[in-house]
Homo-oligomer: A and B are copies of this chain.
């Protein structure tokens, strides 16, 4: 009878009515046998992060992406932030410019995320022009900050009476967290305190506002928890850690803090397209999935965090929350949080994750729905959520040294996340489908521009994830060529990584020491890589594998080498039969990459191609294609549609098929050649 918009309003009340453990191959070694869970490493032996500047990347796959990010994405994003008035807001708030607030209400966060990305780039590529551009921007931000430390230009300009009073809807704390992260990055990159001082004033304001005996509050969009831990790690100021813990501990109350705040909203109009609208109506109508009832699970507020076992709600928020929980476990060893995190990880990776490592199938809540509900063409799989998977899994890895988390991190990185940006670095996926009828393309910007700014800050910090340290040695988490300069037991150690991963499975590590030294090098053996082989100094070596890391502990001399050979055979992957969307289909994996059929490479329409299980497949490096990629070639079957002209249904008849060559390309580079059909899951039987 009417549009669904109208209907969702109408059905509410009478008044309203009016109107895997990623994949196989991983053994359980090192897991707690009683629980089937991974053990938390004791405090002091957890993995630590190396400074970003300690890691150099010279990698065939990633170096061009980093270069494009530095030379194109950063500038493109800045211009869009300027064009959409997100930067001007700080001048408006400081009184330098007379104008209305522009951009979305969390616009500040996108500016901070740009600064964070720019800071990583400054750390790795000193650039006076960029540094002074950042300095100017920081001056605007500092000028906009209130004397009491409060800073959120949207609230300052539009709702100054509602500071911290509508946390479910407004993104003050999300913006604050983004500021803290940018400030830490900027301080570490430049040594300057300009943004850090702003951040600490806001953090102190937050700390004086919220906590036991003070105002009750939690972020509607999580992020501030992990950012406070990051501030704590930089400053060693315990209050920031305690505040992060307070925010985590305060979720899941009945009634929730959000509901209590909503009830206490004043009678007040907000401006809606030039027309006044009651603020409660406004929030209810535009921010709540179901206007009749607060959906607390949307913001992971349905239960106290230690009782949460199933991943629910908005996927990006969930990833930031779980990352913050992991950070707290790292600092405190909190057993309740750790238990919850393991179940949440099982929930995501065993029941609610795309084969690409992306999450969140539904547009409706930008998030999780039900186990095995993973549609392909209609996949939401937001790029920010893919980045969030990496943030979270990286933290789980640091807690455990368990390669299962590095496997998932690699999966999300090389597939879902990498697909989120074009090779030219100036168009992005917000939504990232796993199949397309040919009408999907990346866009240069969005009304909700979180994904471009996420790419801008994520990519230049890639080095962070490649290696870790622990007291007895170095960990290799990812196979990205380059070098790490570490300190092991107070002595300078370098590890050079070379190879042509992910196109090739041969990886060489060369140890640099000033004098022979005992320590462990732990190299991840990917869960997908059954039969990986090692050589040390050219001799076959069978390392002890603990939690998926091959442990090579010896007295290392300068120039010692480790050769790792990962089998790069093409695998046919199937989904749990409960994923109804993938029934009768398989996906192609080679190494960490999943492949897809893009129409540009096929002789037959993608949707008519069948790839029987017995199909011969081989990989070929195509140096001229899309910057150089490995493709998979083989013989599929084409089911012609001659019988189906203007016929929608008919009794089954033997399917006449004929051979057709197929070429599959990595999913991460799809959509770089104009519009065209695409599929990750390929029909296996006629």
For A448, list chain B residues within 8 Å (CB).
Answer: 1-2, 7, 10-11, 17
Looking at A144-152, A273-281, A465-473, A620-628, the stretch in contact with chain B turns out to be A273-281
For A366, list chain B residues within 8 Å (CB).
Answer: 1-4, 7
> Which residues 329-366 of A sit at the B interface, judged by CB distance below 8 A?
346, 349-351, 353, 355, 363-366
Q: A446-B11, A571-B651, A648-B20 are contacts. A583–B580 as well, Cβ < 8 Å?
A: no
Question: Are A18 and B101 closer than 8 Å at their CB atoms?
Answer: yes
A212 contacts partner chain B, Cβ-Cβ < 8 Å: no
Complex Cα distance, B48 from A409, in Å, reads 69
For A275, list chain B residues within 8 Å (CB).
Answer: 277-278, 281
Question: Are A649 and B316 closer than 8 Å at their CB atoms?
Answer: no
Question: Are A1 and B584 closer than 8 Å at their CB atoms?
Answer: no
Question: Are B286 and A15 closer than 8 Å at their CB atoms?
Answer: no
A211 contacts partner chain B, Cβ-Cβ < 8 Å: no
A574 contacts partner chain B, Cβ-Cβ < 8 Å: yes
Question: Are B286 and A5 closer than 8 Å at their CB atoms?
Answer: yes
> Which residues 367-401 of A sit at the B interface, judged by CB distance below 8 A?
370, 377, 384
> Which residues 1-60 of A sit at the B interface, judged by CB distance below 8 A?
1-7, 9-12, 14-24
Total copies of this chain within the assembly: 2
Task: Report A417-461 CB contacts with B as 1/0, cut-off 8 Å.
Answer: 000000000000000000101000000001110100000000000
For A286, list chain B residues within 8 Å (CB).
Answer: 3, 5-6, 9, 19
Q: A364-B4, A577-B644, A607-B577 are contacts. A650–B24 as well, Cβ < 8 Å?
A: yes
Complex Cα distance, B9 from A607, in Å, reads 34
Question: Are B16 and A447 closer than 8 Å at their CB atoms?
Answer: yes
Task: Report A521-539 CB contacts with B as 1/0, cut-off 8 Å.
Answer: 0000000000000000000
Complex Cα distance, B648 from A573, in Å, reads 10
Question: Are A384 and B20 closer than 8 Å at their CB atoms?
Answer: no
Complex Cα distance, B100 from A17, in Å, reads 13
Question: Are B106 and A1 closer than 8 Å at their CB atoms?
Answer: yes
A683 contacts partner chain B, Cβ-Cβ < 8 Å: yes
Separation in Å of the A386 CB from the closest CB of chain B? Answer: 14
Which B residue's beta carbon lies closest to that of A373?
B437
A97 contacts partner chain B, Cβ-Cβ < 8 Å: no
Question: Are A584 and B586 closer than 8 Å at their CB atoms?
Answer: no
For A355, list chain B residues within 8 Å (CB).
Answer: 648-649
Which of B18, B288, B579, B652 is the one whose CB lies under 8 Å from A103? B18
Question: Are A273 and B15 closer than 8 Å at their CB atoms?
Answer: yes
Question: Are B649 and A573 closer than 8 Å at their CB atoms?
Answer: yes
A307 contacts partner chain B, Cβ-Cβ < 8 Å: no
A234 contacts partner chain B, Cβ-Cβ < 8 Å: no
26 contacts between A and B (CB under 8 A): A1-B104, A1-B384, A1-B448, A3-B289, A4-B363, A4-B365, A5-B289, A7-B447, A11-B447, A11-B448, A15-B273, A17-B447, A19-B272, A21-B646, A21-B647, A273-B281, A350-B647, A370-B437, A435-B580, A573-B649, A576-B647, A576-B649, A578-B641, A583-B584, A583-B683, A584-B684
